[in-house]
């Protein structure tokens, strides 16, 4: 259920209403808007009755949300969510580009990459330190030592950092150094991890599971939001199909499908989506043209020597070209870079 407040109702009154809702054994979630505030009410459906809520002064309207993802749904929250953290803004007219290596190898390569992508207009640096690898014998990331490298580069470049967290026990340490926590494709339905990242305050970049439908994806976002963290960025990164010419099938149709259903920002990762350097640029262009709010791109100073995912990583020069190319697409659809 969504309670739409009348414009100008003071916060103090809204808090009192939320207390009343809690006494009805329901959980109120305040979704702030620039025009008006709404309270999403979640809980046992047997306790969800419209009339007592409608009678509360200051309430303009009470609506049922039909979708199972109550907080993520566009039905109850018509204003699109804009997420900003340390200079990184996503969900506005400006396209947000996050770039960097698949995995942090050392400070020198990370610093070199960060400086380059920042000069080209990227607003976030990516770099995995806890790596989810298909093989248990493959490099698993620098872990806590890698977090330190990320923190140093973040500080010297003043660039927001995105890194993946694999285990609920690491959430605290990762949240201490990263600006945005990534939950990867293999963990999209790791509900304990989703709850753990939902309990902390940093934004979460949630990647679509490689076999997840749109409702599965949004229900995973809902898990995070139900814990009180509404700052969720959705990321399409390719799904498994019978495609035998690329690593995955980058499903760009999910961009309009998500935009129709949710107020959350949507970005696209054409690096994992294709697995091939040559395909990254065309699919990045297509993603922007289809309405994505941003991109996640793997970049390495020497892709041929990269420890992980070199085949899909762009060189620094290729990243410069990508930024130039997507700029014209962004302008053509009324957005900026
Ligand atoms: C990544 O972005 O580093 C990653 C492992 O991606 P995915 O979870 O999409 O495979
Ligand atoms: Mn990778």
Supply the CATH number for residue 12's domain: 3.30.70.1140
52 and 90 housed in the same domain:
no
Q: Do 119 and 154 fall within a single domain?
A: yes
Asked if 190 and 55 sit in the same domain, the reply is no
Atom of ligand 1 nearest to the CA of 186: 8
Domain count along the chain: 2
209: domain CATH number is 3.20.20.70
- One domain, residues 39 and 110: no
**Within this chain, do residues 98 and 238 fall inside the same structural domain, yes or no?**
yes
**Candidate of 133, 269, 274, 294 to mutate for ligand 1, largest count of ligand atoms within 8 Å of Cβ:** 269
Residue 74 maps to a domain: no
Nearest bound ligand to the CA of residue 307: 2
Could you tell me if 225 and 272 lie in one domain? yes
Q: Assess if residue 111 is contained within a domain.
A: yes
- Report the C-alpha gap between 163 and 157 in whole angstroms: 16
Which residue's alpha carbon is at the smallest distance from atom 4 of ligand 1? 184
Q: Could you say which of 10, 34, 63 is where a domain stops?
A: 63
- Structural domain includes residue 68: no
141: left (phi over 0), alpha (psi -120 to 50) or beta: left
Residues 151 and 204 in one domain: yes
**Ligand 1 center–CA 99 separation, angstroms:** 13
The residue whose CA is least distant from atom 9 of ligand 1 is 185
Atom 8 of ligand 1, residue of closest alpha carbon: 184
The verdict on 181 and 297 lying in the same domain is yes
* Residue to mutate (ligand 1; options 162, 272, 274, 313; most atoms within 8 A of CB): 272
pLDDT of the residue at 35: 79
Q: Do residues 121 and 240 share a domain?
A: yes
Q: Looking at the domain assignment, is residue 320 inside a domain? A: yes
Give 46 Cα–ligand 2 centroid separation in angstroms: 45
In a domain, 131, yes or no: yes
Atom number of ligand 1 nearest to Cα 131: 5
Pocket test for ligand 1, best of 209, 211, 237 (most atoms within 8 A of CB): 237
**34 CA from centroid of ligand 1 (Å):** 34
The number of the ligand nearest the C-alpha atom of 131 reads 1
> SS in 3 state form for the chain?
CEEEECCCCCHHHHHHHHHHHHHCCCEEEEECCCCCCEEEEECCHHHCCHHHHHCCCCEEEEECCCCCCCCCECCCCCCCCCEEECCEEECCCECEEEEECCECCCHHHHHHHHHHHHHCCCCEEECECCCCCCCCCCCCCCHHHHHHHHHHHHHHHCCCEEEECCCHHHHHHHHHHCCEEEECHHHCCCHHHHHHHHCCCCCEEEECCCCCCHHHHHHHHHHHHCCCCCCEEEEECCECCCCCCCCCECCCCHHHHHHHHECCCEEECHHHHHCCHHHHHHHHHHHHHCCCCEEEEEECCCHHHCCCCHHHCECHHHHHHHHHHHHHHHHHCCCEC
Mean pLDDT by 10 residues, the chain (337 residues): 90 91 90 86 79 86 89 91 94 98 98 98 98 96 98 98 98 98 98 98 98 98 97 98 98 98 98 98 98 98 98 98 97 97
In this structure, the answer to whether residues 8 and 134 fall within a common structural domain is no
Indicate whether 288 belongs to any domain: yes
Which are the contacts of 15, defined by CB distance < 8 A and separation ≥ 6?
none
How many A from CA of 168 to the centre of ligand 1? 17
Assigned domain for 325 exists: yes
**Residue tagged 């995070």 (tokens):** 224
**pLDDT value of position 259:** 98
Q: What's the gap in Å between 68 CA and the centre of ligand 2? A: 32
Range of the domain at 42: 2-63
- Give, using CA atoms, the residue closest to atom 10 of ligand 1: 185
Q: How far is the CA of 208 from the centre of ligand 1 (A)?
A: 10
Residues 97 and 40 both lie in one domain: no
Residues with CB under 5 A from ligand 2 (ion): 102, 309
Quote the CA–CA distance of 41 and 74 in Å, as a whole number: 15
Buried b (16+ CB within 10 A) or exposed e, 224-247: bbbbebbbbbbbbbbbeeeeeebb
User: Which of 63, 91, 113 is the last residue before a domain boundary?
Assistant: 63
pLDDT 10s digits, 93-143 = 999 999 999 999 999 999 999 999 999 999 999 999 999 999 999 999 999
Asked if residue 59 and residue 145 are part of one domain, the reply reads no
CB 69 within 8 A of CB 262: yes
Amino acid 53: pLDDT = 83
Which atom of ligand 1 is nearest to 238's Cα? Answer: 9
Distance 272 CA to ligand 2 centre (A): 6
Q: How far is the CA of 313 from the centre of ligand 2 (A)?
A: 8
Measured CA distances, 86 to 107, 120, 183, 313, 336 (Å): 21, 18, 20, 26, 19
Say if 284 falls within a structural domain. Answer: yes
């Amino acid at each position: 259920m969504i309670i739409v407040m009348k414009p100008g109702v003071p916060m103090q009154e809204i808090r009192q209403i939320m207390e009343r809702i809690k006494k009805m054994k329901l959980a109120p979630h305040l979704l702030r808007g620039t025009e008006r505030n709404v309270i999403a009410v979640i809980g046992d459906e047997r306790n969800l009755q419209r009339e007592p809520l409608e009678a509360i002064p200051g309430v303009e309207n009470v609506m049922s949300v039909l979708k199972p993802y109550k907080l993520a749904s566009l039905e109850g929250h018509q204003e699109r969510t804009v997420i900003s953290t340390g200079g990184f803004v996503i969900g506005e007219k400006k396209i947000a580009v996050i770039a960097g290596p698949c995995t942090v190898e050392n400070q020198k390569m990370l610093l070199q990459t960060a400086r380059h992508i920042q000069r080209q207009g990227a607003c976030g640096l990516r770099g995995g330190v806890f790596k989810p690898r298909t093989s248990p014998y493959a490099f698993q990331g620098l872990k806590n030592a890698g977090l330190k490298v990320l923190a140093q580069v973040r500080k010297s470049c003043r660039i927001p950092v995105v890194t993946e967290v694999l285990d609920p026990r690491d959430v605290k340490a990762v949240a201490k150094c990263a600006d945005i926590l990534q939950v990867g494709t293999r963990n999209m339905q790791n509900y304990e991890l989703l709850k753990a990242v939902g309990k902390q305050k940093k934004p979460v970049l949630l990647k679509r599971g490689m076999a997840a439908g749109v409702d599965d994806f949004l229900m995973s976002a809902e898990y995070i939001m139900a814990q009180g963290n509404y700052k969720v960025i959705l990321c399409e990164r390719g799904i498994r199909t019978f495609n035998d010419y690329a690593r995955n099938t980058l499903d760009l149709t999910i961009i309009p499908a998500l935009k129709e259903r949710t107020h959350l920002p949507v970005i696209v990762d054409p690096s994992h989506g294709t697995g091939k350097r040559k395909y990254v640029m065309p699919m990045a262009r297509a993603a922007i043209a289809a309405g994505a709010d941003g991109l996640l791109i793997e970049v390495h100073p020497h892709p041929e020597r990269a420890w992980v995912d070199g085949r899909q990583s762009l060189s620094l020069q290729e990243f410069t070209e990508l930024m130039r190319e997507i700029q014209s697409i962004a302008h053509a659809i009324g957005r900026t870079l």
